[in-house]
Amino acid sequence: MRRTLAGAAGAVLLAALLTPLPAAASAAAPTGAPSLAATAAAALAQHRDVIHGTDAETYTAGRVIADTSGAGHVRYQRSYHGLRVYGGDLVVHTAPNGAFAGAATGLTAPLTLGVLPKVTAAAAQTAAAKAFEGRITSVGGSELFVDASTPAAPRLAWETVVRGWAPDGQTPSVLHVLTDALTGTVRGSFDEVESVLGTGYSQYSGTVSIDTTQTSVSPVVYSLIDPSHGNNKVCSMSNLTGGTCAVMTDADNIWGNGATSSPQTAGVDAHFGAAKTYDYFKNVHSRCGILGACAGVTSRVHYGSNYVNAFWDGTQMTYGDGSSNLRPLTALDVAGHEMSHGVTEALAGLVYSGESGGLNEATSDIFGNMVEFYAGVAADPGDYLVGEKIDIFGTGAPLRYMYNPPLDGSSYGCWFSGIGSADPHYSSGVANHFYFDLAEGTGATAYGTSPICGSAAAVTGIGRAKAEKIWYRALDVYFVTSETYAQARTHTLAAAADLYGACSTEHKAVHLAWAAVNVVGTDPCATGPVAGSLVWLRADAGVTSSAGKVSNWADQSGTAHHASMTVAARQPTVVSGVVNGKPVIRFGGSQSLALTAINPSAFTIFVVGKNTKTTESFSMILGPGGDSANNQLRWENGTQALVYGSNGLPTATTTIGNTRVFHDLVIRYDGATLKVYRDGTLYSTTSGSASGGWAINQIGAYYSSYFMQGDLAELLVYSSALTDAARVSTQNYLKSKYALP
């Protein structure tokens, strides 16, 4: 890829999206699926909050995907005050019965920015010209749009297209420059011409069969035009960068000699690579042609002189002959990689900056390798290496290693919070590593040893045939332009569930493979908390009640720390179907349960519930009774959680957000540090050493005087500070069970 980026905040626009679509109100349903498009439009109108929509917006339907089950997926482009919103695209999903089944978008909040520029279009064009490196042949007009490719900071911007030649004088450039419409600062840019630097040697695929066309009978002339693959064709630029590209011809239909001494040799490799890429997408993914219209592509060979490059410009492939015109860059995985950029542009339009840029590049690495495996050529077998035949470094080393990306010296194999600022070629390593682990597994494999990031669990691969289907469906149905790694995790899980079933082996493997590269999230198939709890009370098990009044709540941990209340007026109520269809124990402000006493010196506590007191200084969750020490855990002031211990436990009053909705509250103390989490997010860390245990013997009350008003669905207490992995596992179980945020 040849791209120019201003930094992590730089945005990218795809040429295919530059033409405004007609207004949503008058847009006709896409041909072939009017009912599905209409169903999605109705769902979108009813659930606009899910995609952070506003009254200032319109939505225009694009591709419609109908599953065999009857489920549907419709992509939309968004306009804001009549301006195109880049990064605001969305996908609406509908169930087989037509019900709304969710939506995906890159936006994280409704757009509120103004749309009056302070910088003129002429000033933006001047800035764009200054940003161009090379020789300019034309500067186009500027389009005003909303750049939401960085969702947290959408900006009003100008896009200007500058055409010309790159500094090498041979590579064409169609540079899209993005200028802030309020400050005049160049936010970023991208080049439509996508390329990979490298060198090649001789012929890469050995002796192969290729489809050609006889274009003359007398004399007999065969041409490198492939009627079996949408009329793919190969032409020669005769080592020039302009002028006519002449289709390659031959008199006996025997092409090349396996060496660069024959100009046809590079043509054979290019023709073969284009055919195998076409076949791969058609036969594996039912996609007919790179752009989906069953049309072939042109491959230009012998481009320029001593040109060490190859690129995809949106419609065709171009290959240089390399150093001294002796090393054509026509390797099979290079062809598959570059043409796969065309597939990505057509399906999801992944922005080539930030994390989506890495996912864009990884998609080409993934499918380039899958083309190589699909071709099954003994001279160039599939290997999960990128560009191993072109020997770009002159050492025999490949460009990238999918099984262990850092081996190339620049790529990242594990996700971290700043990875969006890295070059997409290097941030792609996380997705490449994920894909390898999903297909082949972690540890020692036939292709190399794949390391695990951190303390993640080992992964058993599900095979290439299933992994490639999952990645393609996620790209086709779920990915949005500003896709992040966290979203890619969610969307590949959805794709795996679609294809193989929720909680299938394949679905679970996707979860584990992302965790192995440090992209972590809720286990969609968690079935219970980690073992070893001291107290485990759950409203859906072990509750003894009469007329709804709870007299006993049996501990499920096996340690007999039961909770009970014999005084009828003090008994809380069990209420069914409250949170994700499950019951809760409801405390009305004067009820509590006596808990068989616990006194841990280190602990981890999980509470699933909500505070229903509309105004209060506090609402008690756990506390002491009688003459017990002044220890307590409570909700406070509607947005806080307070932990206190008279034994020297550090006091923590933590703002955790609205407590009047169901949430997961976690308190972890290891004897030196107290941490407070809500819904998986760490909200506070407080240091302090307690002098003894933290004695608790009441639920919902403090000294039998100050009470809770709220609902409890589940309470877990461990007499140790759980590891992060154990904490996350238990939180995942609770999140899945109760559909928590």
Indicate which residues carry an active-site annotation.
338, 425
Distance CA 288, CA 280 (A): 10
Question: 724 and 454 in contact (C-beta within 8 Å)?
Answer: no
Q: What is the largest CA-CA distance in the chain?
A: 110
The CA-atom distances, in angstroms, between 450 and each of 345, 510, 514, 551 are 30, 16, 13, 55
Cross-strand bridge partners of residue 664: 608
Distance CA 334, CA 652 (A): 57
What are the tokens at 242? 């302009």
What are the tokens at 551? 């007299």
Phi, psi of 622 (to 5 degrees): -125, 145
Distance CA 738, CA 731 (A): 11
| DSSP notation for 283-329 | HHH---STTSSS---EEEEEESSS--EEEE-SSEEEEE--GGG----
**Crossing angle, helix 464-473 and helix 354-375, to 10 degrees?**
140
Q: Cβ atoms within 10 A of the Cβ of 101, count?
A: 16
In 406-518, which ranges are E strands? 443-444, 449-450
Distance CA 228, CA 580 (A): 54
Q: 657: Cβ–Cβ under 8 A, 6 or more apart, which residues?
A: 639, 663, 678
Strands 83-86 and 135-147: parallel
| Side chain identity at residue 503, one-letter code | C
Alpha helices in 165-297 (DSSP H): 264-285
| Side chain identity at residue 80, one-letter code | Y
In 95-193, which ranges are E strands? 100-105, 135-147, 155-165, 172-180, 186-191
Question: 359 and 483 in contact (C-beta within 8 Å)?
Answer: yes
Cross-strand bridge partners of residue 324: none
The CA-atom distances, in angstroms, between 502 and each of 97, 265, 493, 507, 513 are 19, 49, 9, 6, 16
Distance CA 508, CA 526 (A): 10
Nearest to 345 by CA among 363, 371, 358, 368: 363
Question: 401 and 388 in contact (C-beta within 8 Å)?
Answer: no
| DSSP notation for 60-120 | EEEEEEE-TTS-EEEEEEEEETTEEEET--EEEEE-TTS-EEEEEES-SS--------SS-
Distance CA 698, CA 693 (A): 16
Residue the block writes with tokens 């065999």: 68
Distance CA 245, CA 224 (A): 13
**Crossing angle, helix 464-473 and helix 485-500, to 10 degrees?**
120
Alpha helices in 528-609 (DSSP H): none
State which H helix or E strand residue 11 sits in: none
| DSSP notation for 667-731 | EEE-SSEEEEEETTEEEEEEE---SS---EEEESEETTTEE-EEEEEEEEEESS---HHHHHHHH
415 alpha-carbon distance from chain centroid: 12
What are the tokens at 552? 């006993």
Q: 349: Cβ–Cβ under 8 A, 6 or more apart, which residues?
A: 14, 16, 17, 89, 481
Distance CA 62, CA 241 (A): 36
What are the tokens at 13? 């626009």
536 alpha-carbon distance from chain centroid: 35
